[in-house]
Amino acid sequence: MASVSSTTNKLSSSVQPPGRMRVLKERSGPSEDGPVVYWMFRDQRIRDNWALIHAVDEANRAGVPVAVAFNLFDQFLGAKARQLGFMLRGLKQLQLDLQESLQIPFFLFQGEAEETIPDFLRECGASLLVTDFSPLRKVQRCKEEICKRVSDLVTIHEVDAHNVVPTWVASEKLEYGARTIRGKINKMLPECLIDFPTLQPPSRKWAATSRLIDWDDLIADVLRKGAEVPEIEWCEPGEKAAMEVLMGSKNGFLTKRLKGYSADRNNPLKPRGLSGLSPYLHFGQISSQRCALEARRVRKLFPQAVDTFLEELIVRRELADNFCFYQHHYDSLQGAWGWARKTLMDHASDEREHIYTREQLEKAKTADPLWNASQLEMVYYGKMHGFMRQCHIASNISVMKMLMYWAKKILEWTRGPEEALEISIYLNDKYEIDGRDPSGYVGCMWSICGIHDQGWRERPIFGKIRYMNYAGCKRKFDVDGYISYVKRLVGEIKKRKSESLLSQKAKELRSS
Ligand SMILES: Cc1cc2nc3c(=O)[nH]c(=O)nc-3n(C[C@H](O)[C@H](O)[C@H](O)COP(=O)(O)OP(=O)(O)OC[C@H]3O[C@@H](n4cnc5c(N)ncnc54)[C@H](O)[C@@H]3O)c2cc1C
């Protein structure tokens, strides 16, 4: 295992498939009958959540009550209004539904989880803490600290509720690429890609009621503090909205848009050509297992589209978790393979045609109108089209991954690979609604450091890292059309923003 070295893998006797849960800490004192607490972090949903299912199941078997706790970190990898607003609006709905449908209380804490969670466990006398799984360093370290801080009477279970095949089950080591992990994942699918059991309200109710949470005040606060990157309008938060995007009757991906997925996903002029699920998957407002189950049900209609989607959703996404879990340096040059580090450093001082500062890049002030458009799409729209981040060419045997223009250009225009990686991750995490995700770190590492890729013909600056240029994009899609599309998009967003500011000012004047 990656970071909690004393962990043992234990088969759970509960309703979940074997290996989905691992024991981070076993109580050493006598068996206690305190309540179960589920510290929800990455899987922010009620439906199809193996961690919640496990927590309720354990509570029912011990005849004790169960609660959900959530910690809002003071600062989580630079998240701004865009990401925090989306998350809190989703959690606001979740609290209501949790209380109404399952009568499970929801407790919200603010600060550092390594303090708030042990404090809460002490306060309610809990015997079992259940957590969901994230491979990110900050979360893994936080769990190590919680393991040290809780009393000997508390057991801690971690459940991978995010991946179809739990990361530690899919592979016990850092995988080289999709081709080395694909077979391992596919072998586990019959056991892991199964229907979820129905979640019933726990048999024993929590005695005290949950504390009142002033959601509107909390949301206003994060919007004010993170105003530099405002919320987006096109993506409604929450579990219901997520299911609507997956299979709603209006514009659901599987119900209405699947047919064009294989072709339209490579067309940056068709942002709806992709599933649009990544914000929901990132915040855990939808389960990837649910997406895969529903996609499989319609496979006979569009087999190629479904196979492509499942490759992205399961193999590529879970490969990213594998990388971050087993490679602690998942966001720095240290995390690259030796050959890639060497070739990048051999070419680090090669002459560059342009050198831009982080500020120039952030403001899209480069000499390349295509790159500027993609950067502006990310800054204003909150999600760059997949093609701009990664291009796919369908071949008769596989979907071949190509370079990512946006990130590759940053390598070309900065003083070396370390700076390029730092800036691309900074921009991606700051503006993308689905940023601060293993898929984002791997996307940047793939583009700049050749992770999950192979060596290519050596050339200046890039060395043996795969190269892509403007001419390559021009051959694949209507570059001018894309630039005009982004110009229009940004113009509309700016106009709506100034209209809403005006109406807010008018409202304030009327009420003063
Ligand atoms: C430089 C770069 C930065 C990226 N940053 C992010 C990021 O911050 N957050 C993020 O979630 N993804 C990121 N990706 C991966 C990918 O581009 C997005 O997941 C995808 O564009 C999301 O749109 P979608 O849900 O409509 O995709 P779809 O094509 O509909 O795919 C369905 C799901 O499959 C998964 N997926 C698709 N492509 C990949 C991939 N290459 N690697 C891993 N998982 C994948 C995602 O979970 C996605 O939601 C990045 C890729 C690159 C090259």
User: For every one of its 512 residues, what pLDDT tens digit does the chain have, with 9 covering 90 and above?
Assistant: 333 333 333 334 456 777 999 999 999 877 779 999 999 999 999 999 999 999 999 999 999 999 999 999 888 788 899 999 999 999 999 999 999 999 999 999 999 999 999 999 999 999 999 999 999 999 999 999 999 999 999 999 999 999 999 999 999 999 999 999 999 999 999 999 999 999 989 999 998 776 789 999 999 999 999 999 999 998 999 999 999 999 999 989 999 999 888 776 666 566 567 899 999 999 999 999 999 999 999 999 999 999 999 999 999 999 999 999 999 999 999 999 999 999 999 999 999 999 999 999 999 999 999 999 999 999 999 987 655 454 333 322 222 233 378 999 999 999 999 999 999 999 999 999 999 999 999 999 999 999 999 999 999 999 999 988 777 777 777 788 888 988 999 999 999 888 888 887 888 778 77
Classify residue 221: in a domain, yes or no: no
Q: Is 444 in the pocket of ligand 1 (CB under 6 A)?
A: yes
Cβ of 317 less than 6 Å from ligand 1: yes
Domain endpoint, select from 161, 179, 197 = 161
One DSSP character per residue, 310-361 reads: HIIIIIIHHHHHHHHHH-TTTTSGGGS-HHHHHHHHHTTTS--S----HHHH
Residue 115 lies in a domain: yes
Task: Give the length of the chain.
Answer: 512
Domain count along the chain: 2
* Closest atom, ligand 1, to C-alpha of 313: 34
What is the spatial distance between Cα 164 and Cα 451, in angstroms, rounded to a whole number? 22
267 lines ligand 1 (CB under 6 A): no
501 CA distance to ligand 1 centroid (A)?
33
Rg of the chain (C-alpha set): 23
pTM of the model: 0.93
pLDDT for res 269: 60
Q: Is residue 212 part of a domain?
A: no
Give me the domain span that covers residue 443.
329-512
Question: Does ligand 1 come within 6 angstroms of the Cβ of 12?
Answer: no
Last residue of a domain, one of 161, 176, 204: 161
CB 312 near ligand 1, within 6 Å: yes
The verdict on residue 245 lying in a domain is no
> Is 194 within a domain?
no
**How far away, in angstroms, is 314 Cα from ligand 1 center?**
11
Query: Of 121, 140, 161, which residue sits at a domain end?
Result: 161
User: Does residue 130 fall inside a structural domain?
Assistant: yes
CATH at 84: 3.40.50.620
490 within domain boundaries: yes
Is residue 380 one of the residues assigned to a domain?
Answer: yes
The CATH number that applies at residue 438 is: 1.10.579.10
- Residue 95: burial class (beta carbons within 10 Å; 0-12, 13-18, 19+): buried
